[in-house]
Structure 1
Amino acid sequence: MTMTRTAATFAPPVMEARRWLDGVEFAVDRPLINVSQAAPVDPPPLALRQAMAEFAVEQDSAHLYGPVLGNDDLRSELAAQISAHYAAEVSANQIAITSGCNQAFSAVISAITDQGDEVILPTPWYFNHKMWLDMAGVKTVDLPTDDDLLPDPERARALITEKTRAISLVTPNNPGGVEYPADLVRRFFDLARETGLRLLVDETYRDFDSRSGAPHDLFQQSGWDDTFVHLYSFSKAYRLTGHRVGAISTSPALLAEIEKFLDTVAICPGQIGQFAALWGMRNLTQWVAGERDEILDRRAAIAEGMPRLEDKGWRLLGLGAYFAYLEHPFGIASDELARRLVPEAGILLLPGTMFMPEGDSAGKRQVRVAFANLDRAGIAQLFDRLQGLSF
């Protein structure tokens, strides 16, 4: 029997990691430290929840289909905010709202590729991007990064073939945390434009970038939407993970193709989630700024604590947004290490093998820590436990 593409795709890593908890009991004075998933665990702020509840009760439209590409008011507001943030001119007809940023990526890939085509992903990659490419029958061409976790445009150029359709970047990066410098992102844009490719830039964690102002100038380039496809998520900024609201910014012509995918998968984004995203953009600017400050403080706590781990042979490869990406000092592979950390240290994290091509030796030495849900005390406790490890 022929194996389907879905059957050949690896299982969802976060769900796999959760299964490592089955049957494990944690002492009251040594609870589990879960740094496996990059998602807020707290609900949206109360004012937003109240507004969502009123909308659900008072507006019949909250429970009906809407436009496939999203509601006009949300598309217009996002276009205005992108224009302001990036000092550019973006129009509502260049915006589509999606059921989360993963769907945004899937929709774009479906619109620009055919079976057997190729997309270049820097490694370590975001595993859901790799999973979708596998299920779509698109070959993932891995672009190894160096110790700084930054991809090299010239190394990417050497990987381009007649089958290549896109290069996909994530900044601030998942899993590495690193923020791609503006000039590096621009060099990838120039490469994509020169070679006739699409450049996908997933900025799910943009709201937690340590830099102020625009992180790149791609929206300012003439005819940007012929090359550049911008992906965004409202989930992290407004704690709307369960409501699945993401966005795509690109050319109206490409959005017309993307609309076909969206119409057959979800028909339209959920109304309550779209309302929440719009309300958040209009009312929670200062609140989001406070959330960003807190994340940056937790990032600082990781940096301040690293000398303790470096003394034990650990190395920090990347840090930013929600993530710290580390090289461990032990003589066992990271997938085995991650499983053993659950019962032996009360830590749930993801091994680098989940973000690398199968057999890549670098992934066996790396782990990802999603620290956004730990305060400074929790980070200190995590470091205490890591510091005391011996394998």
Structure 2
Amino acid sequence: MTQTRTSATFPPPVMEARRWLEGVTFSADRPLINVSQAAPVDPPPLALRQAMAEFAVSEDSAHLYGPVLGNNTLRTELAEQIGAHYAAQVSADQVAITSGCNQAFAATISAITDQGDEIILPTPWYFNHKMWLDVAGVKAVDLATGDDLLPDPDAARALITDKTRAIALVTPNNPGGVEYPANLVSAFYDLAVEHGIRLIVDETYRDFDSRSGPPHDLFRKPDWQSTFVHLYSFSKAYRLTGHRVGAIATGPDLLDEIEKFLDTVAICPGQMGQFAALWGMRNLSQWVAGERDEILDRRAAILEHMPGLTSKGWRLLGLGAYFAYLEHPFDLSSNELARRLVSEAGILLLPGTMFVPDHSPSGKRQVRVAFANLDRDGIRQLFDRLQALSF
């Protein structure tokens, strides 16, 4: 087979996991528990859907091209809300809207790298970040984390070369769930400034952070826009996964380069999704707060059930946002374990091998549980099934 850009990377992990369901039947008394994907399964709230329907019918602009970097009304609203969230000043010309947060990452990487350049990714990594680097011909340099799943700035410093263009963090983390302490994020910012590289921070799950107040102070750093690239998604907060609306906050000079990528890939973000994001920010703050409370309650339920699993040799490595990251006690690779769980326990989850490079042994002992779509009873059933396992 001829080597191509896409053949340089692996198949989409969530789609691969779904194929494990083929030919497997689940009984009514033990239905499938699907904790493989971190996406809401419910539609947006009814009021938002009604507003979207009215927009589609009454506004011709709902069906037309718009500005490449997004509609000015949405950019302005998001800049104001970022400023409020991080206790900082952010302007609309420092914000761009993208067709999902994955595109925000891809556009940023395309704007700051050439083939053969390097990006440092802490492991376990978000696999779509690794996939895009593979496709772009950019080397992903893995930064191993310890049992706390927190990356070490000094270890990152040792990996920086003249080819390094950025360090990319995700907090709250996917897949690990951990919330990076503000001083740790700040230390990575200082490291990036020291070496003249970018710090990309994907904060897709910021609306479900358990902490109150700004999660870091990067937007208050002098000339932050020359180093810091903030990525965000509206998909989780407003259940807009199918409408693909994400965002970037950084300097206008970098956004000028990012605009070139966006114009050639999608021309502009979709009007319906942008309308929904704007309407959601203006009308659903209390609803989002309730969604956050529900996620935090499910997180608490996992902590309540962990002792039973710990007694069987499992370990909880990370917990937060939509995710629990676990170390299993069995003498088999997590990739094999995950496949067997489908038929033997009625559980679909992702193995740690999907989040680390092939040479890393840690992924063989780890699994990711995306618990956002399980209520307390679903979490209890999940833990009962895991606790009953014997391999």
SS at match of 1:7: helix
- Note the 1:157-172 alignment, pairs <5 A: 157-172=157-172
CA distance in 1 between counterparts of 2:85 and 2:38 reads 24
Number of residue pairs aligned between Structure 1 and Structure 2: 391
Query: Cα deviations across residues 60-114 of structure 1 (Å, max 9, x unaligned)?
Result: 0000000000000000000000111111110000000000000000000000000
CA distance in 1, matches of 2:150, 2:333: 23
How many Å separate the matches in 2 of 1:41 and 1:114?
Answer: 37
Counterpart residue number, 1:290: 290
Q: Distance in 1 between matches of 2:16 and 2:147?
A: 27
Give the Cα separation in 2 of the matches to 1:113 and 1:286.
40
Distance 2:232 2:69 in 1: 14
Give the Cα separation in 2 of the matches to 1:228 and 1:9. Answer: 27
Corresponding residue of 2:188: 188
Once the two structures are superposed, residues 253-292 of structure 1 have per-residue CA deviations (whole angstroms, 9 ceiling, x without a partner) of 0000000000000000000000000000000000000000
- The residue that corresponds to 1:48 in the other structure is 48
Matching residue of 1:8? 8
Match of 1:238, as an amino acid? Y
Q: CA deviation at 1:5?
A: 2.5
Any residues of structure 2 matched to 1:48-67 within 5 Å, and which? Answer: 48-67=48-67
SS at match of 1:178: coil
1:258 partnered with 2:258: yes
Distance 2:310 2:162 in 1: 44
How far 1:2 sits from its partner (Å)?
4.1
- Secondary structure of residue in 1 paired with 2:312: coil
Partner of 2:357: 357
Residue type of the alignment partner of 1:197: I
Q: Secondary structure at the match of 2:325?
A: strand
Q: Give the CA deviation at 1:331.
A: 0.2
Query: 1:52: Cα distance to partner?
Result: 0.2
2:249 alignment partner in structure 1? 249
Give yes or no for the alignment of 1:146 onto 2:141.
Answer: no
2: CA distance, partners of 1:9 / 1:155: 26
Give the secondary-structure state (helix, strand or coil) at the position aligned to 1:302: helix
Equivalent runs, 1:198-213 vs 2, <5 Å: 198-213=198-213
Per the TM alignment, residue 294 of structure 1 is displaced from its structure 2 partner at its CA by: 0.1
Distance 1:300 1:267 in 2: 43
Shift of 1:360: 1.4
Question: Letter of the aligned partner of 2:325 in structure 1?
Answer: Y
Alignment of 1:83-232 (within 5 A): 83-232=83-232
Residue 340 of structure 1 aligns with which residue?
Answer: 340
Q: Tell me which residue corresponds to 1:305.
A: 305
Determine helix, strand or coil for the equivalent of 1:27: coil
Deviation readout 1:5-52 (Å, 9 max, x if unpaired): 311210000000000000100001100000000000000000000000
Structure 2: runs of 5 or more not aligned: none
Which letter does structure 1 place at the counterpart of 2:255? L
Residue 82 of structure 1 is matched in structure 2 by 82
2:172 maps to amino acid: P
> Could you tell me how far 1:381 is from its partner in structure 2?
0.1
Partner of 1:73: 73
State the distance in 1 between where 2:361 and 2:251 align. Answer: 39
Q: Which residue of 1 aligns with 2:319?
A: 319
**SS, match of residue 369 in structure 1:** strand
Give the structure 2 partner of residue 382 of structure 1.
Answer: 382
Query: What is the CA deviation profile of residues 160-184 of structure 1, one whole-angstrom value per residue up to 9, with x for unaligned ones?
Result: 0000000000000000000000000
What secondary structure sits across from 2:207 in the alignment?
A: helix
Provide the C-alpha distance between the structure 2 equivalents of 1:86 and 1:360, rounded to a whole number of angstroms.
36
Separation in structure 2 between the aligned mates of residue 213 and residue 354 of structure 1, nearest angstrom: 33
- Relative to the length of structure 1, the TM-score reads 1.00
Which letter maps to 2:107? A
Secondary structure, aligned partner of 1:204? coil
**Percent of pairs with identical residues:** 83
In 1, the alpha carbon distance for the partners of 2:138 and 2:281 equals 35
Distance in 2 of aligned mates of 1:321 and 1:86:
18
Distance 2:368 2:171 in 1: 16
CA–CA distance in structure 2, aligned partners of residues 22 and 360 of structure 1: 29
CA deviation profile, 1:162-211 (whole Å, cap 9, x unmatched): 00000000000000000000000000000001100000000000000000
Q: Secondary structure at the match of 1:373?
A: coil
